Structure 1
Amino acid sequence: MKVYTLKTKQFLPISISEAWDFFSSPRNLKDITPSHMRFDIKYISGSEKMYAGQIIRYKLQPVPGVPVSWTTEITHVNEPHFFVDEQRFGPYSLWHHQHRFKEVDGGVEMEDEVNYAIPLGWLGQLANWLFVGKKVKAIFDYRFKVLEERFN
């Protein structure tokens, strides 16, 4: 199984508590996901406050007309410094997404690191090369732009 990694870093001129409040709320995912993907949260376990073990189920359309169900678990939480979400059921063989927040002069530095794998062996590798890798990067590019507009 080939594992791919995408890392992003962004400065936001907000406090670490503001960053945490925004990014630790699953409800805000829709705001930072391209609208053409039709992101829709179906279920959040427990309270709205993030905790290790929390389950979030949603549907989206990564490709127009192809709905996908996705279930993630919040596996690690160290408020306000980092949290990890991992796919439990969905399109990937592996999805491990680390969100890190660090106070810096004038705001917060936010880092994302996604490690993912696609099923189907060499066909999955071809799919990543042709479009999946580009799609994942485009989603994070979109997030970067939306966050720039929202917090600057």
Structure 2
Amino acid sequence: MKLYQLQAKQSFPITPEAAWAFLADPKNLKIITPEHMGFEILSGDDRPMFSGQIIQYTVSPFKGYTTKWVTEITHVQEGKYFVDEQRFGPYALWHHKHFIKAVEGGVEMEDIIDYKIPFGIFGRLAHPILVKRQLQQIFSYREKKLIELFGTLENGSRELHFRSF
């Protein structure tokens, strides 16, 4: 079984409270998702983030393919972190941790995603060509969109790393 991990970090000149207010509102996920992915929330965006929350949406990760994705918010420590886990969707495993940490002049947001691709060897072959490339595009878009919304720290860092196990 091949597992993958994506780690992304980005710093912004905003308060941890402002970062949390943005991230804790499920409606904002549409803002930071590329338009070409056809992201639409179906349910679960009617209140701020809480443990046990189920969010259902559709997404088109590749042209001509739309899928339903259901995530559950499994852990929340207000102002610090939350975890969403796929309950139904395109991945065999999707476990996404979102962290917020105060840094000099602002906040650092960190994402750590552990995921597994379905379809055995075919999924592993598709990872570098399709899946990893798509995740890179999504996080590149997200980085640019967050900079548009919040600016960037002058000495802030931006990182995106992939690992496999």
After TM superposition, the score normalised by the length of structure 1 is: 0.97
Moved over 2 A (4+): none
What is the percent sequence identity of the aligned residues? 52
Answering whether residue 3 of structure 2 is matched by residue 3 of structure 1, we say yes
SS in 1 for 2:132: helix
State how far apart, in whole Å, the 1-side matches of 2:129 and 2:138 are: 16
Unaligned stretches of 5+ residues in structure 1: none
SS in 1 for 2:27: helix
Query: 1 or 2 for the larger relative contact order (CA 8 Å, sep ≥6)?
Result: 2
Deviation at 1:98, TM superposition (A): 0.4
Deviations 1:91-133 (A, max 9, x none): 0000000000001111100000111101111111001021111
Show the counterpart of 1:34.
Answer: 34
The structure with the greater share of residues assigned to helix is: 1
Answering whether residue 127 of structure 2 is matched by residue 124 of structure 1, we say no
Residues 6 and 137 in structure 1, CA contact (< 8 A), matched pair in contact too: no
RMSD: 1.0
Deviation at 1:20, TM superposition (A): 0.2
Show the counterpart of 2:134.
Answer: 135
SS in 2 for 1:17: helix
What is the letter of the counterpart of residue 22 of structure 1?
F
Show the counterpart of 2:111.
Answer: 112
State how far apart, in whole Å, the 2-side matches of 1:50 and 1:29 are: 12
Deviation at 1:141, TM superposition (A): 1.1
Deviation at 1:49, TM superposition (A): 1.6
State how far apart, in whole Å, the 2-side matches of 1:98 and 1:130 are: 25
After TM superposition, the score normalised by the length of structure 2 is: 0.89
Show the counterpart of 2:48.
Answer: 49
Show the counterpart of 2:162.
Answer: none
